[in-house]
Chain A
Amino acid sequence: MNDQLREAPGAKGSIPTLVLQNISKAFGGVAALTDASLELVRGEIHALIGENGAGKSTLINIATGVHRPDRGTIRIGEQVVHFSSPGAAAEHGVAVVHQERNLVRKFSLAENLLLGRQPVNKGLVSYRKMVEDAAPWLERVGLRFDPRTEASQLSPGQAQLLEIAKALTRRCQVLLLDEPTSSITDAEFEHLVGILRELRDSGTSIVFVSHKLEEVYALCSRATVLRDGRNVLNGAPLSEVSQGDIVRAMVGRHIELFASGGATKRAAGPAHLELRGVSTELGHHGVDLTVHRGEIVGLYGLVGAGRTELARAIVGLAKITGGELRVAGKPAKVRNPYDALRHHRIGYVSEDRKDEGLILTHSISRNVGMTVWKRLEAKFGWISETRVRPHIAPPLQRLDVRMHRVSQPVGSLSGGNQQKVSAAKWIAAEAELLIFDEPTVGIDVAAKDAMHRLIAELADDGTAILLISSDLREVVQLADRIVVMGDFRILDELEGGGQYAPISERVMQAITAATLAAQPDEHDAIAGSPVH
């Protein structure tokens, strides 16, 4: 139906394809996007950059018909369109490859490629035709597999290529890649780059979402940067902006937040957690990290640096394969999060509050009380609301959780209040070390401020805090010490509490230096040979 549009002739590089203009979108009163724009032209690779919670995913979801914008227009070429569903966006030639792999693992590559449109002969699925039809598309993205191979055999990077091929079979003109490189190897990335360039040269417009700036510069011609749901850069040519400019655009914050933090120096107590040359099964190597009682250590790095993974290893969710982990001065082995809390007094406030931090259908009191049940049961032999309440009321009050009553389900609270409940749970547990993983992502400014105060107060009271954040300003404001992480290693360590500008400069230097030093020495190790 849109053949006319698809085949619209014209010089590449100037014909607008997909244009999102002044898009605003709010979820439950929290603005995710405010007047955000993304303008694509034919045959370009366009970077979409922003921190977690900056609004990239929302923008992509709007471009692909998953969400509808509250305000603003979407145009394909000159035509204003309204995508009522992902199917409608696909009809207009807009395809997306999500981070989550959408493959049917038990089906062959060919069938995944043609899912829902398997060739049929006399009412029966024709496997021969399916293989024939699929082969050229697999070839096109360089997947040299027998089309009959089961999809479960693919590595994440190969699965990504299969999804790109799938988008191509649908004759998409606009291809959105949501962090395509987050879980693929360097060699696979090189390969992906080649494919994307070919597509670009044949007229496809590609949106490339990535946190890795070197990749962005290697591949893209223009960049749109989002921060707090607004455009900081709108289609700026990358030849004219430096990596530093992009980072500053991404990270800089206008809003002045709670600003004591590291300014008043805390007297740090004894070390509660020490990592000495720790390696993990997730790929960390030689990690040294110490967190003292009454100290906030900020663990900064771009997404994918291995910070969350390190936290998970500390609480026993991933194996430590080398080095030593010491708790309160003694070598310790943390088996699981339960063990971490019960025996080592380490609590982990997850970044993913919906999936890992809270049980949304349960009441506030049950969520907060969860961590103290064991303790209370040990004393009294049974658990009742009246026993639990005195323990959960103070942290809830302290965090100023906006609620009607404690029996209210957590799911009925706003994002910010949910995050407070998540934190209250660990305060009730009286942990001596709290790991906060991106505590302020996706919550509004006031809630963010409250969270900052809370973290500072906890440290003042003697709790050891490990603060994982992609928000550098937050780290600089709160942390007594800043540890910079990149590519699963510690890159640098510096004092907090100073001026933002010099600290951010040094942090950026550490990260850029590390990415430049990263050698593509992994190629030989993984080249592997294609089957068949």
Chain B
Amino acid sequence: MNRVLRTQWAPLLAATIVAGIVLSLATKQFGSSFNVYTILQTAAVYTVIGLSQMMVLAVADMSLAVGGIASLVTIATGNLYQVQHWPIGAAIAGSLALGLACGLVNGAIIATTKLSGFIVTLATGTAFTGIAYGITSSIPYSNIASVLTNLGQGRAAFFSYLLLPAIAMTLAVGAGFRWLPIGRSLLAVGGNKDAAVLSGLSEKRAIVTAHAVSGVLAAVAAVLYIGVLQSATPATGSDWLIISFAVPIIGGTALVGGEAPASGCFVAAIVLSAINDALIVLNVNTEAVQMAEGLLIFAAVIAGKLGQSVRGGTRRSVGRPSTGPGRLGQIAQDAATPGLGMP
């Protein structure tokens, strides 16, 4: 419980729940079972998009290709099912493999050229989208498998079935970072590259893995979104860039790497989706919705910073780090932190 309270997203979630209760009392619409279902349906997709970006942020890199991969994967799924007449299971498997391949390409280029992920994924992401439009000549596939539609549109009261895969992905990613040696390597490389490399971990391997898994997650998000949209269009992913960053950042992922709070992504996705929905319910125009999203990111980051300094987590040294803060400063610092146990 304590750990939950200390997370960066706890105050946001609390604020959202309070606001949600107020709104549902004020308007009939917001609290309705159907509206909550809509919020959760969107949040499910947002979660997976956010996880995709968080994978890469964990190693202190970033990917602008999440949307591009989604666009290409969406088209692949539609094409394999509608044109090639693959069974839907095989089509989805093929699409996820394509997502993996796209991620591997990104990771391999970044690891070998040492170019920043920003530049590489800017290029590849644009290229992926271009290929998707090229294949379809901009015409969406409209014959969507019932499995996907049922998943995307299905609900039990307010519970969107899409939450199942979203929660599964959140748990899988969270567990991977916590329990798998490769997950720990990713965080070590993201947290302190030098320490990780000196300990015999491979930076390249971490970067390639992060991008590869990110590619798969982008593909999962794309497949889920086909069911929501009931159409496989190359336009999918075009507006995912901001969401992909907003979700992990609001969820408490540091841009400097070394952290990957998967549960934070899930909560942040719900918060974002709820706010979007509330603004629509309140008839606020679309531009204002975007502005609100921006402010929310800002607020989340500032809240995170404040939280850090309140908890005393940041130790700022003035001057060159190598010289340290000098004797007296040092003593003051030591008095404030747990000291050595002297034998």
Contact = CB atoms under 8 A, between A and B. Distances in A.
Interface of A: 86-87, 90, 99-100, 102-107, 111-112, 115-118, 120, 123-125, 142-145, 152-158, 161, 166, 182-185, 187-188, 191, 194, 281-285, 304, 306, 308-309, 312, 317-319, 352, 487-488, 522, 525-531
Contacts of B201: 115-116
| SS of A interface (majority) | loop
A104 B187 contact: yes
B195 A102 contact: yes
A142 B343 CA distance: 7
Contact of B334 (A112, A125, A528): A528
A281 B318 contact: yes
Contact of A104 (B195, B319, B342): B195
Given A185-B327, A317-B319, 8 more contacts: A102-B194, A104-B191, A111-B184, A115-B188, A155-B340, A191-B343, A309-B323, A526-B334
A99 B258 contact: no
Given A104-B258, A182-B324, A306-B326, A531 B184 contact: no
14 contacts: A100-B322, A102-B198, A104-B187, A115-B196, A116-B201, A123-B180, A154-B337, A158-B340, A281-B329, A317-B319, A352-B320, A488-B328, A522-B327, A530-B339
A393 to B, nearest CB: 33
B340 A187 contact: yes
Interface string B295-329: 00000000000000000010100111111111111
Contacts of B178: 125
Contacts of A102: 192, 194-195, 198
Rank and list the top 8 A-B pairs by shortest CB-CB distance, nearest first.
A528-B339, A183-B324, A144-B341, A283-B326, A530-B341, A283-B328, A102-B195, A116-B199
Contacts of B322: 99-100, 182-183
Contacts of B329: 281-283
Contact of B187 (A107, A154, A155): A107
A118 B340 contact: no
A112 B196 CA distance: 9
Interface residues of B, number: 46
B72 to A, nearest CB: 32
A36 to B, nearest CB: 23
A288 to B, nearest CB: 18
Max chain A C-beta neighbours (<10 A), residue from B188, B201, B258, B326: B326
A282 B318 contact: yes
Contact of B326 (A123, A153, A309): A309
A381 B78 CA distance: 59
A157 B338 CA distance: 12
Contact of B323 (A308, A319, A522): A308
B318 A125 contact: no
A106 B259 contact: yes
A155 B340 CA distance: 9
B295 to A, nearest CB: 28
A485 B321 CA distance: 21
B335 A105 contact: no
Nearest to A523: B342
B185 interface: yes
B54 to A, nearest CB: 15
A526 B335 contact: yes
B340 A157 contact: yes
Contacts of A282: 318-319, 325-326, 328-329
Contact of B341 (A86, A142, A152, A308): A142
Given A191-B340, A318-B319, A107 B188 contact: yes
Contacts of A161: 340
Contact of B340 (A104, A123, A143, A525): A143
B331 A522 contact: yes
A191 B342 CA distance: 7
A155 B184 contact: no
Given A102-B198, A106-B259, A116-B185, A185 B334 contact: yes
A105 B192 contact: yes
B33 interface: no
Given A105-B192, A107-B187, A123-B180, A187 B327 contact: no
Contact of A115 (B199, B321, B327): B199
B24 interface: no
B333 interface: yes
A74 to B, nearest CB: 19
A86 B320 contact: no
Interface in B198-251: 198-201
A252 B287 CA distance: 72
B330 interface: yes
A529 B337 CA distance: 9
B323 A304 contact: yes
B324 A106 contact: no
A125 B184 contact: yes
Given A185-B330, A194-B343, A304-B323, A106 B187 contact: yes
Nearest to B194: A102
Contact of B200 (A103, A116, A306, A309): A116
B332 to A, nearest CB: 9
Contact of B339 (A111, A123, A304, A527): A527
A525 B331 contact: yes
Contacts of B199: 115-117, 166
Interface in B260-306: none
Contacts of A118: 181, 184
B331 A530 contact: no
A387 to B, nearest CB: 34
A530 B338 contact: yes
A182 B326 CA distance: 9
B338 A526 contact: no
Nearest to B314: A152
Contacts of B319: 282, 308-309, 312, 317-318
A279 B47 CA distance: 52
Max chain A C-beta neighbours (<10 A), residue from B198, B322, B337: B198
Contacts of B321: 100
B181 A125 contact: yes
A185 B331 contact: yes
A308 B343 CA distance: 35
Contacts of A352: 320
A449 to B, nearest CB: 28
A414 to B, nearest CB: 24
Max chain B C-beta neighbours (<10 A), residue from A156, A191, A525, A530: A156
Contacts of B187: 104, 106-107
B318 A283 contact: no
Contacts of A185: 327, 330-331, 334
B339 to A, nearest CB: 2
Nearest to A351: B320
Nearest to A350: B320
Nearest to B327: A283
A332 to B, nearest CB: 20
A312 B318 CA distance: 9
B338 A488 contact: no
Given A104-B258, A111-B184, A116 B196 contact: yes
